[in-house]
Structure 1
């Protein structure tokens, strides 16, 4: 079993050498001669469970250093050592850097060992909770999305397309915790699960709906947000979903006066992705445009105040960039998770079974195989094949 990795940071080489001698039998000890060296090691990907830092160091004190450690390695437990009995410094260390333990120098080896043991226990508890939560959330989300795929292919196809664009926009903009944005996009349409397919098809192509259906469609973000808010630790995701139709200038739903930067960034990204998908479909299918992407972007430009300028600028940059996907006609046995379906698939009754733009997974590939079995024909499917590394990653995610 690998030893837990501890990093000691001090500007005194003799102190660092003493730490290494005292603890190297029990831990994988890393030493950094100063805060900048320690930060460089963490930025390079060094996995550490605990970081122990001196308070007084030239150029950057321990409070600031551990604050930056928290940004780079938030899961690492942080301990600070000081020879100064300063309650103000102690409070700053706890409040700003979320320090787990504050020890006075000189610190007896037994006391430091006790602090390290407690810090490692805390690290293991956090790691175990994260893994449990990750498994629970992943299973719940997979259940919801699989149900949506089976119950309402129109809604699932919309969420699949929007998820890809939202994730690309988030990566382009350097969004932190991008997984929240991805989940919000995946679950953004679950409030539409009970809507008739024809009504959704019209709504997703920018066509007007009759009064009762228009109201039902307008309520879907709130319904989805209420559902997602019941999943542990997904409050921020639910908030993104709730504000997915909110305009940057404060118009749209919900009618609460929130506008501009007060709208969650994920919701601002989702709004751009949703509207672009709707307008692109309108110009592609309803108006038979020769260049639906360009016309959709032009229409969005005309909607003054609707979109976060930075997010919309990112869309304008990305919409014309090739993404490396290759169009192919593929028999069902060669389909793989991560490929994009490039055609609508109808069932034997003529109803939509799978929507164009769907990112294939094990469930949808099985349904395509079932389509072949029902018709008895040797079918090939139009798909867009991503680069090999994306295909490999999609296979891992699909499990």
Structure 2
């Protein structure tokens, strides 16, 4: 079975005995005492199963398993103890979320069967998560691609925000990055509730009526109400609903700071809005100044690194386009109709649609301006600051 098992006990003789009986069947790692176990868990090491003795000096088994539950929720936790009183058992289950509770002395056969059951449980949980994650991502991607055909301008913004959010999250190794990316992908879904004529007036800089302004301002709540109907997207829905909340709840007066994932989401949204009306560098300065009270400095630094690193600009025909590129202009038919809004990221379904249009009577205006970020050349987003060699070979512009 796959997965590393961590055995924790303050008695080295007990650990040696465990390893001798288990090493042929399992991948086993030992921790002599609770403190050593905590150091392993906090170092980022991943374990499928953790078996800990209860009675240990300084850091007991209950503390170890509670820390494991917090740092690695999917890890299966097993308590091994000679203290079988009811309170110990209750505390272990409630605080450490124990999978099994074994009394000492425990025979090698019993421990082996318990570990096999623990590994099966771990693999079951991970398989379910992978299935849910892949299904969810596929569904969200399908919805956004279909809706991009209905409202290309709004979903062009969503594509830009998602692309930059993803890169900032990669640079910072944000733990809930998938929620941030999905929130960005669905951030403009409420725009479908606003008539197209209203958006055209807004984009043209025309005065909106009170009712039209209300519809535009409330699209995040509309989008959030739709997303809440999807199981496991409650946090994403909350992020979407709060996307335009700034001074009222998170301004300098309260000093309240956001979780890093939501901070990335809002900072990128602000940058995208400001960059549409000013230069990218001016937009970046404004975001940095206005968000300092509620946004972690690391988020702003990562965003600045990505913006300042720039991108390569190219003019390509449809057959030269590739997934991951971003349109630097609206893609139009020969007679001027918009097929894809500026800022959207190229994907396979979009390529197929453009190829079909290029071969039809309506045609596609070519070449098309696209942006290719320098970090796409198998470069770690965290290393953008040192990409001088790449930039020397490319025509680099600021975002």
Q: What range describes the TM-score normalised by the shorter chain of this pair?
A: 0.7 to 0.9
Query: Which residue of 345, 367, 382 corresponds with 2:331?
Result: 345
What secondary structure, in the 3-state scheme, does the structure 1 residue paired with 2:323 have? Answer: coil
Asked whether the equivalents of residues 250 and 257 of structure 2 are also in contact (C-alpha less than 8 Å), the reply is: no
Q: What is the distance in 2 between the residues matched to 1:238 and 1:40? A: 36
From the superposition, tell whether residues 134 and 225 of structure 1 become closer, same or farther in structure 2 (CA, over 3 Å). Answer: same
Residue 232 of structure 2 is aligned to residue 271 of structure 1? no
Residue 342 of structure 2 is aligned to residue 356 of structure 1? yes
What secondary structure, in the 3-state scheme, does the structure 1 residue paired with 2:329 have? Answer: coil
What secondary structure, in the 3-state scheme, does the structure 2 residue paired with 1:369 have? Answer: helix
From the superposition, tell whether residues 346 and 377 of structure 1 become closer, same or farther in structure 2 (CA, over 3 Å). Answer: closer
The corresponding residue for 1:139 is 138
Asked whether the equivalents of residues 62 and 80 of structure 1 are also in contact (C-alpha less than 8 Å), the reply is: yes
TM-score (structure 1 length as normaliser): 0.80
Alpha-carbon offset, residue 40 of structure 1: 5.5
Q: What is the distance in 1 between the residues matched to 2:35 and 2:203? A: 51
From the superposition, tell whether residues 206 and 238 of structure 1 become closer, same or farther in structure 2 (CA, over 3 Å). Answer: farther
The corresponding residue for 2:115 is 116
Alpha-carbon offset, residue 168 of structure 1: 4.4
Q: What is the distance in 1 between the residues matched to 2:162 and 2:15? A: 48
Q: Report 1:44-59 matches (<5 A).
A: 47-59=46-58
Asked whether the equivalents of residues 248 and 308 of structure 1 are also in contact (C-alpha less than 8 Å), the reply is: no
Asked whether the equivalents of residues 317 and 367 of structure 2 are also in contact (C-alpha less than 8 Å), the reply is: yes
Deviations 1:174-211 (A, max 9, x none): 64312111111110111112534453366468875332
Asked whether the equivalents of residues 244 and 271 of structure 1 are also in contact (C-alpha less than 8 Å), the reply is: yes
Residue 277 of structure 2 is aligned to residue 282 of structure 1? yes
Asked whether the equivalents of residues 79 and 101 of structure 1 are also in contact (C-alpha less than 8 Å), the reply is: yes
Q: Report 1:68-87 matches (<5 A).
A: 68-85=67-84, 87=86
From the superposition, tell whether residues 3 and 280 of structure 1 become closer, same or farther in structure 2 (CA, over 3 Å). Answer: closer
From the superposition, tell whether residues 31 and 164 of structure 1 become closer, same or farther in structure 2 (CA, over 3 Å). Answer: same
Alpha-carbon offset, residue 358 of structure 1: 1.5
Alpha-carbon offset, residue 10 of structure 1: 2.0
Residue 304 of structure 2 is aligned to residue 319 of structure 1? yes
From the superposition, tell whether residues 366 and 323 of structure 1 become closer, same or farther in structure 2 (CA, over 3 Å). Answer: farther
Q: Report 1:189-208 matches (<5 A).
A: 189-197=188-196, 199-200=198-199, 203=202, 208=207
TM-score (structure 2 length as normaliser): 0.80
**Higher RCO, Cα 8 Å, sep 6+:** 2
Q: How many residues align?
A: 375
Query: Which residue of 354, 372, 388 corresponds with 2:377?
Result: 388
Deviations 1:127-186 (A, max 9, x none): 232133123312321221111121111111110111233344545666431211111111
Asked whether the equivalents of residues 69 and 75 of structure 2 are also in contact (C-alpha less than 8 Å), the reply is: yes
Asked whether the equivalents of residues 169 and 311 of structure 1 are also in contact (C-alpha less than 8 Å), the reply is: no
Residue segments in structure 2 that go unaligned for 5+ positions in a row: 381-399
From the superposition, tell whether residues 248 and 376 of structure 1 become closer, same or farther in structure 2 (CA, over 3 Å). Answer: closer
From the superposition, tell whether residues 43 and 264 of structure 1 become closer, same or farther in structure 2 (CA, over 3 Å). Answer: closer
Alpha-carbon offset, residue 79 of structure 1: 0.8
Asked whether the equivalents of residues 248 and 260 of structure 1 are also in contact (C-alpha less than 8 Å), the reply is: no
What secondary structure, in the 3-state scheme, does the structure 2 residue paired with 1:322 have? Answer: helix
Residue 315 of structure 2 is aligned to residue 332 of structure 1? no
Q: Report 1:200-239 matches (<5 A).
A: 200=199, 203=202, 208-239=207-238
The corresponding residue for 1:130 is 129
Asked whether the equivalents of residues 297 and 316 of structure 1 are also in contact (C-alpha less than 8 Å), the reply is: no
Asked whether the equivalents of residues 226 and 238 of structure 1 are also in contact (C-alpha less than 8 Å), the reply is: yes
Q: CA RMSD of the aligned region, Å?
A: 3.5
Q: What is the distance in 2 between the residues matched to 1:251 and 1:139? A: 33
Q: What is the distance in 2 between the residues matched to 1:77 and 1:42? A: 13
Residue segments in structure 1 that go unaligned for 5+ positions in a row: 253-258, 284-291, 392-399
